[in-house]
Structure 1
């Protein structure tokens, strides 16, 4: 770099010597006093021919040569950049430019001076065009222009300190950029383990990448293959919601990519940014950067005329190969695990650190309540018929990739890959718990739809909110639970007024959206007869949850009291199981009894349980407890022998 600066200083000396040949202005007047004969001289003269020599390319630092190649910088661009950067490297250039600019309060070259030192005439259209906002120097943030209200030739050029630092060997990002961007390291999976993409793809691209499609790995593989450089990854979750701030963040990231000669991978899935995807893509195009943008699987990009690729979900065999590649060689590729659509980063974290294997949380605000399942089907107390039906439903979800994709038995007509099930039965029979157990069995989160937030009085708003819910849950492969589904999927009626018409349209939309859904949706209802018949026809499974029998009630009491039996004996539980209570009522009675015991500072005992059952009996509107005889027999059971305690 010293050799280049010496050449630049020599050029400056030549210009000053030439321009001061007949200059009789004292130094302290320079920049403030312009004698008429000197103004006339400057108006008539042209740039000396010798000033148009190009700065020797071989003398440039290696990083500057790489930057010139990756950013398509011309010789004049390099000359302007070096001239503007000289004041950042050696203080003497500040004094030089005061003289050359003929302006005492400037500390860098103006446009005219920079163009002349690069070997071009300032009135050259070609030279001036290199300082347009869409040309590399300004577009990539390699130089900045101050005094923008003045004419172009008198505006002063500066080079951001980050650019200077990089060219001097500093690879540390600016603080604002390091929090949202980083160069992608070696991918977790080799390209041969990824679903194959078309061979003719060219950057720039937009990838629709749902959960489990290995979107970042696919983007890395393609970008590296096309450019030979590891891409710069920008995390869209770190971008501002304010448009101007978001634009500035992106420009700073683009500058980092330009300095390294790398393409960009921008992941805006689940991100709320100040710029739309199409606006960001247009900005990238203006900045002449190679890029891939990752968006959600169902997202739509308006005003984008480039290529958009829907990344395919991997087959079960491919997912198993991911487990084998990322695991420790042990047998951890069961169909249950391989059926979960998660990206390699999540799978790697699970295999490395343990813990639940759950996809990324969705951004649906108050429309859903996320539930982390605490139990599986093994923890569920139900009749053998219900248990078997739930296992079949679980297996349907696990093996849909094989049946629908590999065996190509996917239905037409826009039907999705999803599974829809109806759980019907009286309140408290375990429908909601069964949905949570299914989610736990599959290793995915449960999202319970908040009907109060979804249903909207304004026409069309309910459908928009539901679409957000469906799309979000599809992308993370979770279980979507519509509790009390008859509130949304009730029978369509005859049209007597506008409200009936729009209510029918709402149900029709829901039926269509359920058909195209790609996840597992569970609907529960106490009143199956109230549901629309068209919905019943579209179900993949319908499971009726009857009230539990005595044997099941006994197991339910044990499950609710497990670990907190206190002074309760086996005979107490056997007698309680005679009472016709549902699982929900049994749990409520157990909790009430526990509170009574805690308030009295005692262990849970028969009297507390009896009182809890009486409260639950009364809450259901039953006039009196079954019989006095039952109370007496239950009290007598308090004298059980210790070995009969549970």
Structure 2
């Protein structure tokens, strides 16, 4: 029975794949039969079991009398039948001609039918070499070894450059080198569409959505991917480029292959990984989606080389959609892409994405976990966040599981907790991470200051709509960040207010440690700050620069090199704070020390005055709480009236008095509280006046 008549048992493949392949393999088998018969006619010892291990004089004479590389090859039968089905698709996608397909099938035959191994071993005159060599493949395809057919195995030829055929034994002469076809190519021709096992963990197939995206940006991306070389660059301006890229490829009828950029950058053999990705994209009739580009660091030689190699490997055979926040540099690749700007998503679209993600997550976590939240409540809970589709999907999964643990629908707090879990650890290495535990009720501030804090939270929630979609901050390289200044004496509640704003937005607070930022070496401070700003732009958090006048100070007249470098540092901060895309809060005790140029770049300026007597009484009540026992004679009103302290000092006094009450084993009385105030005065270096402390002064001294 010939190969053309036999189909392997258990092969479950579409009818359009196997019969066409079997017809072409039958043609290869007939050529192998004829080549074997011709070899046996001139072989003096065809059945020698030790052939290939030694060379007799008769065999040497036969080798010398055999056909040389310049003579025409024997006629091994009619030409191959025309390619159809997957063979025709393969030829079209990889630019193959009929001789290329014949050579490919000759090399692939042992992977489909084991009989070819023995036959090739006999034709190679070496039973240990059971695959086709380049010389044997050329002979079976009717191509002279010294003719142009040998150049079909050059590194730039379609068979080799696209990874369809691998050439082994590079140390041997060209005609003796072994040909091997990767398993993925064989599986594809047999009807298997699974992604190559060698790129597992490097690429995934994006699943089609029930509601395809037909927005104008998606259609523009699809049109750009279908023109020229198919190289498209999505310039991210706060949108979701990964989702739009996959939607565009699906709209164009292509299979989206989403590349894990971090895994590609860390691949031990990037050149091989790039070639396999390009082959997989062409083989499956799909397109590659890769980003964000910043992960590859294309501004570095290694990253630029990797990106350029990927663009060259794809080479117009498949669409390649790249996305990132940086503008395209022509030095990154030999071809320039079509750039499409990705704007922030519409609020209604964001709600639909969250709703779909919660529905999918709820199906796995529990029947009621992802339901029960109205669209308005969902929009309010997620409006301040900037997440892509993958982060929304993961956050929805975490929120649904949190709700399922308690057997209830997802609540806004579950969403906030889940979003915070998506923040990477990069910023935590550069700043101190604080998870807010306070709210608006914990603040004791004048009404004007509270309004300014509310305005900051309002801006953070609606910045994508106002600054992005409505373009109220166009041009000049300006970002869509929100920057606020909290000015006031130490202890007036600046840091706590930043924590309250972060809690209201459902975000974490990252406090920058300026001692680890400022460096004595020229230029290192700017590098440290750049790393902080870059990481902060990628997380949903509030960035706090405590004692900001240490780095945001005034520029001065240049008198020496130190002044010049200090001015360079301030100039860098001026332009970087303006292009920042996150939420930043600067605090200072001395507002006059800040450069006036920063004021224009601030969105909110909140002044924190020293609290008055009424506010101090409220602070005493809050700081002492309800758990500590109080003596009947505890006079908080008099303490608030007499002692002008800030909120931070009042908290310190309350803690000191609580320790004294715990040591005495009695309820907290006024004497203990005044003793704590006296200790705080001395710590702050303030004058202790008898007129201020009154009768408690002598009692404290006696104690």
Counterpart among 204, 216, 219 of residue 231 in structure 2: 204
The structure with higher relative contact order (CA 8 Å, sep 6+) is 1
Retained in 2: the 8 A contact 1:377–1:437?
A: yes
Stretch deviating more after TM superposition (393-402 or 382-391)? 393-402
What residue is the counterpart of 2:342 in the other structure? 311
Stretch deviating more after TM superposition (187-196 or 547-556)? 187-196
What residue is the counterpart of 1:260 in the other structure? 284
Counterpart among 283, 290, 295 of residue 318 in structure 2: 290
Cα distance, 1:123–1:484 mapped onto 2, change above 3 Å? same
What residue is the counterpart of 2:591 in the other structure? 528
Matched, 1:355 2:415: yes
Counterpart among 480, 489, 492 of residue 426 in structure 1: 489
Retained in 2: the 8 A contact 1:55–1:118?
A: no
Alignment RMSD (CA, Å): 3.7
Partners of 2:598 and 2:566 in 1: CA distance:
15
What's the CA shift for 1:108? Answer: 1.0
- 1:562-612 deviation per Cα after TM superposition (whole angstroms, max 9, x unaligned): 4643557794655554433322223334455666778x6979855876665
Matched, 1:627 2:690: no
Partners of 2:550 and 2:124 in 1: CA distance:
76
Partners of 2:570 and 2:210 in 1: CA distance:
44
Structure 2 unaligned residues grouped into runs of 5+: 5-21, 359-370, 400-413
- 1:64-112 deviation per Cα after TM superposition (whole angstroms, max 9, x unaligned): 5654444444333332332222223333322212222233431211112
What's the CA shift for 1:424? Answer: 0.8
Cα distance, 1:573–1:95 mapped onto 2, change above 3 Å? farther
What residue is the counterpart of 2:303 in the other structure? 276
Q: Secondary structure at the match of 1:120?
A: coil
Partners of 1:517 and 1:416 in 2: CA distance:
5
Partners of 1:592 and 1:66 in 2: CA distance:
81
What residue is the counterpart of 1:121 in the other structure? 144
What residue is the counterpart of 1:19 in the other structure? 39
Matched, 1:481 2:544: yes
Counterpart among 173, 177, 194 of residue 155 in structure 1: 177
Matched, 1:145 2:167: yes
Retained in 1: the 8 A contact 2:547–2:588?
A: yes
Partners of 1:295 and 1:602 in 2: CA distance:
66
What's the CA shift for 1:502? Answer: 1.4
Q: Secondary structure at the match of 2:415?
A: coil
What's the CA shift for 1:484? Answer: 1.0
Retained in 1: the 8 A contact 2:204–2:259?
A: yes
Partners of 2:73 and 2:263 in 1: CA distance:
50
Cα distance, 1:9–1:416 mapped onto 2, change above 3 Å? closer
What residue is the counterpart of 1:214 in the other structure? 240
1:536-575 counterparts in 2 under 5 A? 536-562=599-625, 564-566=627-629, 571=634, 573-574=636-637
Matched, 1:225 2:256: no
Partners of 1:570 and 1:407 in 2: CA distance:
60
Cα distance, 1:452–1:16 mapped onto 2, change above 3 Å? same
Q: Secondary structure at the match of 1:42?
A: coil
Partners of 2:551 and 2:243 in 1: CA distance:
40
Retained in 2: the 8 A contact 1:67–1:261?
A: no
What's the CA shift for 1:231? Answer: 0.9
- 1:154-212 deviation per Cα after TM superposition (whole angstroms, max 9, x unaligned): 110123344445555666656663223211012486413575663641222222335x5
Count of aligned pairs between the two proteins: 626
Partners of 2:215 and 2:621 in 1: CA distance:
48
Q: Secondary structure at the match of 1:247?
A: helix
Q: Secondary structure at the match of 2:695?
A: helix
Structure 1 unaligned residues grouped into runs of 5+: 635-646
Retained in 2: the 8 A contact 1:362–1:476?
A: no
Q: Secondary structure at the match of 1:50?
A: coil
Partners of 1:196 and 1:175 in 2: CA distance:
30
Stretch deviating more after TM superposition (351-360 or 99-108)? 351-360
Retained in 2: the 8 A contact 1:594–1:604?
A: no
What's the CA shift for 1:217? Answer: 1.1
Partners of 1:18 and 1:601 in 2: CA distance:
111
Cα distance, 1:362–1:30 mapped onto 2, change above 3 Å? closer
Cα distance, 1:258–1:172 mapped onto 2, change above 3 Å? same
Matched, 1:584 2:584: no
What's the CA shift for 1:624? Answer: 5.1
Matched, 1:35 2:60: yes
Retained in 1: the 8 A contact 2:435–2:509?
A: yes
Counterpart among 86, 89, 103 of residue 112 in structure 2: 89
Counterpart among 62, 71, 74 of residue 48 in structure 1: 74
Partners of 1:376 and 1:192 in 2: CA distance:
42
Matched, 1:340 2:357: no
Stretch deviating more after TM superposition (610-619 or 107-116)? 610-619
What's the CA shift for 1:250? Answer: 3.7
Retained in 1: the 8 A contact 2:275–2:313?
A: no
Partners of 1:588 and 1:603 in 2: CA distance:
20
Retained in 2: the 8 A contact 1:422–1:539?
A: yes
Cα distance, 1:39–1:183 mapped onto 2, change above 3 Å? same
Partners of 2:271 and 2:629 in 1: CA distance:
64
What residue is the counterpart of 1:515 in the other structure? 578
Counterpart among 256, 270, 279 of residue 246 in structure 1: 270
Cα distance, 1:295–1:624 mapped onto 2, change above 3 Å? farther
What's the CA shift for 1:427? Answer: 0.9
Cα distance, 1:214–1:46 mapped onto 2, change above 3 Å? same
What residue is the counterpart of 2:501 in the other structure? 438
What's the CA shift for 1:152? Answer: 2.0
Cα distance, 1:163–1:387 mapped onto 2, change above 3 Å? same
What residue is the counterpart of 1:637 in the other structure? none
Cα distance, 1:240–1:471 mapped onto 2, change above 3 Å? closer
Retained in 1: the 8 A contact 2:281–2:288?
A: yes
Partners of 1:549 and 1:188 in 2: CA distance:
60
What's the CA shift for 1:503? Answer: 1.0
Cα distance, 1:162–1:495 mapped onto 2, change above 3 Å? same
Q: Secondary structure at the match of 1:386?
A: helix
What's the CA shift for 1:504? Answer: 1.0
Partners of 2:264 and 2:658 in 1: CA distance:
50
Cα distance, 1:250–1:440 mapped onto 2, change above 3 Å? farther
Partners of 2:219 and 2:510 in 1: CA distance:
32
Cα distance, 1:573–1:94 mapped onto 2, change above 3 Å? farther
Retained in 2: the 8 A contact 1:51–1:116?
A: no
Partners of 2:36 and 2:557 in 1: CA distance:
92
